Amino acid sequence: MRSDRSKKGIERAPHRSLFKAAGFSDDELKRPLIGVANPFNEIVPGHVHLRQIVDAVKAGIREAGGVPVEFGVIGVCDGIAMNHEGMKYSLPSREIIADSVEIMAQAHAFDGMVLVTSCDKITPGMLMAAFRVNIPSIIVAGGPMLTGVYKGKKVNLISVFEAVGKVKAGEMSEEELCELESIACPTCGSCAGMFTANSMNCLSEAIGLALPGNGTIPAVFADRIRLAKFAGKKVMELVKKKLTPKKLITKKNFENAIAVDMALGCSTNTVLHLLAIAHEAGIDITLDTFDEISRKTPVLAKLIPAGEHSVVDLHFAGGIPAVMKELSKLGIIHLDAKTVLGKSVKEILKSVEVLDREVIRSVEEPYFKEGGIAILYGNLAPEGAVVKTSAVVPEMMRHTGPAKVFDSEEEAYEAILGGKIKKGDVVVIRYEGPKGGPGMREMLSPTSAIIGMGLGSSVALITDGRFSGGTQGACIGHVSPEAQEGGPIALVKDGDIIEIDIPARKLELKVSQEELEKRRKKWKPKRKKLTGVLKKYQMLVSSGAKGAVIE
């Protein structure tokens, strides 16, 4: 056993003494030690119930003959961190989560791990750590929350963000907003739509490092507890067979996950995170991989925010296995890919069927023939930019308009709510990239304000930052190179004409090369007074086009 290096032999008597000080028995020290990462805290709604999930995981480990060793991990609620300085810390937390899991696993020589997770950066951080440490591991999510009901309609967190714009536009009273905010998020769990948290938990399942149901079983269902117990048992099988993430998961698994990503119209953050996870796995995935798979993968579901269906609706329609079964008809799912269940994808899908065609459409009658995310290139984004096409209205798939340029999210948000953005405008928010922010903030507040003020079918937004999975509209993010690195987005001026052509994958600034060179000679990067983790992060982080990994 790997853990014997810290507990077996005469030389390890001092080590055993310390184990015993923590309450371990001699019998327990003969068994495999399984690290259980617990990001429980009392502020993230997707994590407030994780003690119960962790207890179930530990019960499963003990039942299968292992010894669970629980340890803590940090977590950020992106919704609470949104639209202020706190969001700068969200993406850096992904690296700290991966680092902390690595440190605990390596320092204490765990034989295996169960990585309990739920929300936005915690899940990708855990997946990165699983590949980096490369000991037998399983991901277990806390599950999605249920939707609320307000005036007879389903509501969720994004309903509240967009309602702020409606209040500013005079379409809703402050009293109604107060009522809505108390109803929109009715249970614990990751927010109810196909936002980043649920996207990544569904893709953990599609990639094969989580069990079927991981992405969609609601947080408040007993099935979630049973799944956690089963994961505890399964990790012991992986330990006995010495099946590590790098032995199980290949490029085929990642391509399966990307296909599911495209079929469901997941958060654009999945691009950022899958690139980073593949980097840790030593698997060659690029932005072009996403676009290639997107072009041959139909959109089969319209989930919140792109449509009315929640992740819970997806669960009752058959969940991720049903989506993969439907996609397999087109030959774009690798059926021979292995999973932590101990079965191939083909074996898992054998008895699966779509249970609700209102939620999961057939490949013959998709919402769109091409996938939910597209990669754009052009003189404004030489290294690429990302857009969630499934959340763009048809009339904004092609758009040309004048730029309204802002050097921070706050400036843009104030201008939108202040009525300074007009129909046809292209809002440009820059110096919000991985280095420029630093931290690549999500722009949910500005995008929600655009929708709430009735501009979603006439205004586009472009940024070197990123978007929440709750964003809808013609919102193009991850523009690379970013402004802080001297990318072309740093050279845009108010009134410059920008052309967006999503079907043609183009993002062009209609300014001559000669003029851009003149502007570049006058350009200087912005200097921000930074301390602590943000200072270190700015020094080390790479481009969004590479997944914003630390190099």
The rounded distance, in Å, linking the Cα atoms of 136 and 105 is: 11
Q: Which residues of the chain have pLDDT under 70?
A: none
Contact 548, 91 (CB under 8 A): yes
The rounded distance, in Å, linking the Cα atoms of 487 and 479 is: 9
Cα 1 off chain centre by:
34
∠ CA 300-304-305, rounded to 5°: 110
| pTM of the model as a whole | 0.95
Residues in the chain: 551
SS3 of 139-205: the string is EEECCECCCEEECCEEECHHHHHHHHHHHHCCCCCHHHHHHHHCCCCCCCCECCCCCHHHHHHHHHH
What pLDDT score was predicted for residue 208? 98
- The pair of structure tokens assigned to 265 is 């119209």
What pLDDT score was predicted for residue 408? 96
Question: DSSP state, 32?
Answer: P
Question: DSSP state, 408?
Answer: S
Short-list 179, 197, 10, CA closest to 122 = 197
Question: Which residues have a catalytic role annotated?
Answer: 468
Contacts of 64 (CB under 8 A, 6+ apart): 232, 233, 235, 236, 237
The rounded distance, in Å, linking the Cα atoms of 387 and 32 is: 45
- The pair of structure tokens assigned to 72 is 């803590």
What is the per-residue pLDDT across 118-174, written as a single tens digit (0 to 9) for each? 999 999 999 999 999 999 999 999 999 999 999 999 999 999 999 998 998 899 999
What pLDDT score was predicted for residue 58? 98
Helix axes 251-264, 287-296, angle to 10 degrees: 60
- The pair of structure tokens assigned to 124 is 């990708």
* Pairing, β 460-463 against β 426-429: parallel
Contacts of 375 (CB under 8 A, 6+ apart): 271, 287, 288, 290, 291, 294, 384, 385, 386, 505
